[in-house]
Amino acid sequence: MNVKTLCLSVLYEGDATGYEIRRLCAEGECAYFVEASYGSIYPALARLEAEGLVTSRTEQQDGKPARKVYSISQAGREAFAEQLSEPLSEDVFRSPFLLFARFVHLLPRELVEQRVEEFLQRAVEKRKMLDEVACDESCSAADRWVLDYGRAVFEVAERHVRSHMHELITMARAEPRQDAAE
């Protein structure tokens, strides 16, 4: 799935600015689908508009610059459904924590313990955030399914780290490196 499809998915639900689309992609409900930056969203919106898949209008704001609001067209709705019908690419999973875990032997135990606790705290917070969204009565059955999947992923990650964190901590160095102080 590409950024154009992601933009269409947001606009399928309602009108939005590029900023609102980015916010949903960075910290909102779309953050788990495709990585999208301002540098990719605005060009994608421009291409979608040139293709007639979205339209835009300028809205004036009191004391702020005007904002450009995008809407999906009927052709955009049809294109979105077609894009969803195409074969899916592989899921992409990136985790700075896993890179950290791979090299814990280079780090002092105290730091490893701290990072593990931070990871667990974030996993719990993300799961709770999904719990709160799931309580919203406006969610469709498909939305609930996706939220349940996300919650299950965070629960499994949390459970695995909690039950195996001692292994990471044991692999870490017991003493700070001497050459680091020199």
pLDDT band at 178 (very low <50, low <70, confident <90, very high): low
Most confident of 4-18, 30-44, 138-152, 163-177: 4-18
Give the Cα separation of 156 and 72 in Å (integer): 37
Give the Cα separation of 72 and 53 in Å (integer): 6
- Name the CATH architecture for the domain at 3-85: Orthogonal Bundle (1.10)
pTM of the model as a whole: 0.72
Indicate whether 6 pLDDT > 60: yes
Indicate whether 182 pLDDT > 60: no
Per-residue model confidence (pLDDT) at position 36: 75
pLDDT band at 150 (very low <50, low <70, confident <90, very high): confident
Would strands 64-72 and 16-17 be described as parallel, antiparallel, or unpaired? Answer: antiparallel
Q: Mean pLDDT across the stretch 104-123?
A: 94
Indicate whether 177 pLDDT > 70: no
